[in-house]
Chain A
Amino acid sequence: DIQMTQSPSTLSASVGDRVTITCRASESFSKWVAWYQQKPGKAPHLLIYKASNLESGVPSRFSGSGSGTEFTLTISSLQPDDFATYYCQQYNTYPWTFGQGTKVEIK
């Protein structure tokens, strides 16, 4: 199985900060990575698919990049609504696997 290791586990940031979350895969593959946002008590919400494609309706301050074994999610200017937990997921190979999550907290 492909393991997805996300870092950091927790991130403290302020409104307006640029934030980057990294996911490293245990083996190399192309761009089949998605990123999700989850708020407490809610289902996850797709932000990015195919590593860098922005899901419809998602603000443009979110962006994704990477290929091979390293993938990143960047929030260009953190907004109050962005404090949440973020997960990467690979869908290159079954079983699909998630990273362990990154909680973005208010500094």
Chain B
Amino acid sequence: QVQLVESGGGVVQPGRSLRLSCAASGFPLRDYGMHWVRQAPGKGLEWVALISYDGTNISFGDSVRGRFTISRDNSKNTLWLQMDSLRPEDTALYYCARGDRGLDSWGQGTLVIVSS
């Protein structure tokens, strides 16, 4: 079955960097656009970034554009989110999700806490 497993979260100081990973299994990653979505504690969902199935189309949400980078390696069935210049407001549970017609599969998330 489709499985997405995020990792790499943790506690980091403001201004520092963190790299999240998402391991995909149960489906051919090369066939799907992939996304990162985050949810601050007690808050709603915020779409963060997309990378198209072949990596040629990338888009970011306004609050992370210029600070975050998204990449993928279809041969390794892995998606990454490189987060630089982190801010306290980036504190959230970060989900990777699959989809081109809405997000039809989600991981369980990895928690990022930005705090001094």
Contact = CB atoms under 8 A, between A and B. Distances in A.
Name the residue among A34, A48, A91, A99 with the largest chain B CB count within 10 angstroms: A91
Interface in A23-55: 34, 36, 38, 43-46, 48-50, 55
B3 to A, nearest CB: 12
Nearest to B48: A95
Interface in B75-116: 95, 99, 101-104, 106-109
Contacts of B11: none
Nearest to B59: A94
Contacts of A44: 37, 45, 95, 103, 106
Chain B, interface size category, equals: 20 to 34
Interface in A79-107: 87, 89, 91, 94-101
Contact of A94 (B37, B50, B102): B50
B44 A43 contact: no
B12 to A, nearest CB: 23
Interface residues of A, number: 23
Interface string A7-35: 00000000000000000000000000010
Which of B47, B50, B102 has most A Cβ within 10 Å? B102
A101 B44 contact: yes
Contacts of B45: 36, 38, 44, 87, 89, 98, 101
Contact of B62 (A1, A87, A101): A1
Interface in B55-70: 59-62
Contacts of A101: 44-45
B44 A46 contact: no
Interface of B: 35, 37, 44-47, 50, 59-62, 95, 99, 101-104, 106-109
18 contacts: A34-B103, A36-B103, A43-B95, A43-B106, A43-B107, A44-B106, A46-B99, A49-B102, A50-B102, A55-B102, A87-B45, A89-B103, A91-B101, A94-B59, A95-B62, A96-B47, A98-B44, A101-B45
